[in-house]
């Protein structure tokens, strides 16, 4: 096991990581589609930190948000009218279902842990393997997956066109009416509205030096000094880069039973260098989203922090260190502006 002294160099990586993060996010926001659908206004940050606060509000077309919300909760998007997007992404439960793997139509079990939908508009890509570059692209993957919603666009559009209210509302927003592109855009716009600002840590970043207590501040300092911040930074405290699981200890050898889903980004790129690489999970609201990792191998946040120390940092964290970091991570829990949606 590596000595901790070797990790004193990690804080030097933070600035470089921040520059990369800024470039990734700015590039994503400068794309034509993003300009049209996800304008973000960020309030000034009171202190220079590698994490920035979630904006208190973002400007979105309220009509699209309302339409997307209905679609997000509509089980008719599934082949047997039993599963909606909200089935696996419960907005009253941290934006996910708290299961190791989600269940779709006919009780079929998926093969990966569902990530939270909250703040997903701030991610540079979607899914653990990053196979969707935008929220619009993301929409059809679960809709068409045979173990999730198991539908087709022909089925979905046919059902929606039978609904007079949908026909009217689509026509009032999208000149082309009910079609694949409009459905994708409406759902993606609603998902962009699912922000959770005003966490304790955001208030601290905006200048409230009393927002965090001593243990939470100590946890944040450990988070930075140990090197966690080199991957978990930016507005979403992650979600903007890829990393292998097991940098300093062979995670999959220890866990065993390696399956194709464990190959991560390799399944998309077919580049051998990407095998076992995953999008770094964003840590916003992480205290609410157990179990953790793509394979749900950590049932608690304490266990997840300990495992990250072992496999990603090469250190064995003490109970006191783990407790302090968990205390800090709990300050990343924000407030869904529209309230607890069912």
User: Which residues are annotated as catalytic?
Assistant: 148
Q: What is the distance between the alpha carbons of residues 269 and 290, in angstroms, rounded to a whole number?
A: 28
Q: What's 243's DSSP letter?
A: E
Where do the H-state alpha helices sit in 208-263?
Answer: 214-225, 251-255
- Token look-up 């007079």 returns 164
- For the chain, the distance separating the N- and C-terminal CA atoms, rounded to the nearest angstrom, is 46
Q: Which two tokens stand for residue 82?
A: 């039993």
Where do the H-state alpha helices sit in the chain?
Answer: 11-30, 32-37, 62-72, 85-88, 135-144, 153-161, 164-173, 180-192, 200-205, 214-225, 251-255, 266-269, 301-308, 319-330
Q: Which two tokens stand for residue 303?
A: 């266990």
The H or E element that residue 278 is part of is: strand 277-279
Q: What's 231's DSSP letter?
A: T
Is residue 158 classed as helix, strand or coil in its secondary structure? helix
Q: What is the distance between the alpha carbons of residues 264 and 57, in angstroms, rounded to a whole number?
A: 33
């Amino acid at each position: 096991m590596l000595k901790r002294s070797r990790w004193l160099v990690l804080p030097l990586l933070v600035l470089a990581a921040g520059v990369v993060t800024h470039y990734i996010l700015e590039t994503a926001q400068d794309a034509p589609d993003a300009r049209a659908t996800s304008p973000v206004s960020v309030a000034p940050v009171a202190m220079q930190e590698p994490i920035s606060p979630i904006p208190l509000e973002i400007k979105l077309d309220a009509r699209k948000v309302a339409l997307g919300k209905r679609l997000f909760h509509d089980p008719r998007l599934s082949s047997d009218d039993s599963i909606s997007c909200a089935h696996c992404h419960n907005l009253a439960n941290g934006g996910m279902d708290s299961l190791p793997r989600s269940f779709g139509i006919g009780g079929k079990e998926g093969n990966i842990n569902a990530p939270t939908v909250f703040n997903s508009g701030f991610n540079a890509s979607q899914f653990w393997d990053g196979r969707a570059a935008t929220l619009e692209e993301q929409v059809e993957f679960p809709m068409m997956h045979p173990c999730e919603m198991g539908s087709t666009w022909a089925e979905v559009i046919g059902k929606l066109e039978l609904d007079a209210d949908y026909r009217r509302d689509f026509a009032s927003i999208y000149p082309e009416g009910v079609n694949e592109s409009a459905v994708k855009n409406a759902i993606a716009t609603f998902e962009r509205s699912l922000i959770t600002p005003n966490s304790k840590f955001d208030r601290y970043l905006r200048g409230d030096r009393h927002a965090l207590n001593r243990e939470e501040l100590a946890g944040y300092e450990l988070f930075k000094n140990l090197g966690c911040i080199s991957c978990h930074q930016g507005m979403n405290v992650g979600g903007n880069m890829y990393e292998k699981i097991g940098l300093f200890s062979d995670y999959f050898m220890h866990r065993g039973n390696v399956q194709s889903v464990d190959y991560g980004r390799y399944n998309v790129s077919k580049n051998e260098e990407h095998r076992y690489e995953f999008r770094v999970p964003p840590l916003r609201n992480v205290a609410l989203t157990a179990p953790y990792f793509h394979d749900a191998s950590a049932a608690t946040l304490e266990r997840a922090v300990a495992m990250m120390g072992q496999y990603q940092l090469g250190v064995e964290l003490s109970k006191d260190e783990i407790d302090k970091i968990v205390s800090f991570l709990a300050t990343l829990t924000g407030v869904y502006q529209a309230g607890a949606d069912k």
